[in-house]
């Protein structure tokens, strides 16, 4: 497996599956000097995910089993995207938009997605739950992690995928807030995360 990084001239646009599974990626993460992740999320056969070490302020993005190292300060925004619609967003000095991530319906096959300012709701079948991360990097500007997909044992259900995506989004909100605090201590700005 090659660790691609724009600072070493690696082509991030041409990432291909490495054939390294989750166990291989975990072994590679454990071998990184001084990297002690507090959060590791790996999804899929050719793993895509993220590992965050808040102590060293390092982030390892995993795409198709390839490792891409960045600093926590490179994280600009986190979004939860459900079926191509952004339902939650958090970014530096965000001051925008609002709607709610829906509650899971019985059976785990759908969700209620509704705007907070309205009283109407609608039912829909959820086919995709993704956390999209915007990075301060022109060679690799965004990283997506899918939470619904086919696995060896079947389909991941929304009742599992949505809380996992929400957990990652919440964790990233804290990291982004810490970035803002480190970047401009005492300026009074706060992370204004609103559901979309």
* Average of per-residue pLDDT across 27-39: 94
Give the tokens for residue 51.
């590992």
For residues 173 and 89, which has the higher predicted lDDT (pLDDT)? 173
Max Cα separation, the chain? Answer: 52
Higher pLDDT, 181 or 141: 141
The answer to the question of residue 16 being in a domain is yes
What is the pLDDT at residue 128?
83
Highest mean pLDDT pick, 62-66, 67-71, 99-103: 67-71
Could you tell me how many helices (H) and strands (E) the chain has, helices first?
2, 13
Specify if 42 maps to a domain. Answer: yes
Is residue 52, in this structure, part of any structural domain at all?
yes
Taking the model in full, what pTM does it have?
A: 0.69
Distance CA 42, CA 21 (A): 9
Residue 87 lies in a domain: yes
> Which range of residues forms the domain containing residue 80?
6-195
Q: Give me the DSSP letters along 146-184.
A: ESS-EETTEEPPHHHHHHHHHHHHHHHHHHHHHHHHHHS
Summarised one tens digit per residue, pLDDT across range 66-91 is: 899 999 999 999 999 888 888 878 77
- Structure confidence at residue 44 (pLDDT): 76
Rounded to an integer, the average pLDDT of 36-61 is 92
Flag whether 105 is in a domain.
yes
| Tally of domains within the chain | 1
Q: What span, in angstroms and rounded, lies between the C-alpha atoms of 175 and 183? A: 12
Residue 184's pLDDT is what? Answer: 55
d(CA 60, CA 66): 10
Give the model's confidence band at 95: pLDDT under 50 very low, under 70 low, under 90 confident, else very high.
Answer: very low
pLDDT of residue 158: 79
Mean pLDDT of the chain: 73
Buried b (16+ CB within 10 A) or exposed e, 11-41: ebeebeebebebeebbebbeebeebebebbb
- Residue 1 falls within a domain, yes or no? no
Residue 105 has pLDDT above 50, yes or no: no
| Residue 179, burial from CB neighbour count under 10 angstroms (0-12, 13-18, 19+) | buried
Q: Residue 123 falls within a domain, yes or no?
A: yes
């Amino acid at each position: 497996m090659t660790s691609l990084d724009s600072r070493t001239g690696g082509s991030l646009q041409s990432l291909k599956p490495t054939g390294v599974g989750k166990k291989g990626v975990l072994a590679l993460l454990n071998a990184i000097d001084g990297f002690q992740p507090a959060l590791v999320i790996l999804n899929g056969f050719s793993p895509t995910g993220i590992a965050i070490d808040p102590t060293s302020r390092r982030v390892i993005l995993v795409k198709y089993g390839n490792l891409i190292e960045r600093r926590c300060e490179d994280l600009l925004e986190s979004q939860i995207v459900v079926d191509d619609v952004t339902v939650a967003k958090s970014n530096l000095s965000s001051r925008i938009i609002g709607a709610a991530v829906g509650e899971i319906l019985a059976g785990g096959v759908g969700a209620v997605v509704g705007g907070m300012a309205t009283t109407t709701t609608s039912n829909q079948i959820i086919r995709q739950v993704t956390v999209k991360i915007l990075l301060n990097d022109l060679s690799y500007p965004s990283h997506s992690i899918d939470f619904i997909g086919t696995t060896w044992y079947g389909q991941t259900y929304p009742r599992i995928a949505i809380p996992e995506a929400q957990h990652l989004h919440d964790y990233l909100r804290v990291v982004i807030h810490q970035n803002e605090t480190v970047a401009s201590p005492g300026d009074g700005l706060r992370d204004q995360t609103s559901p979309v």
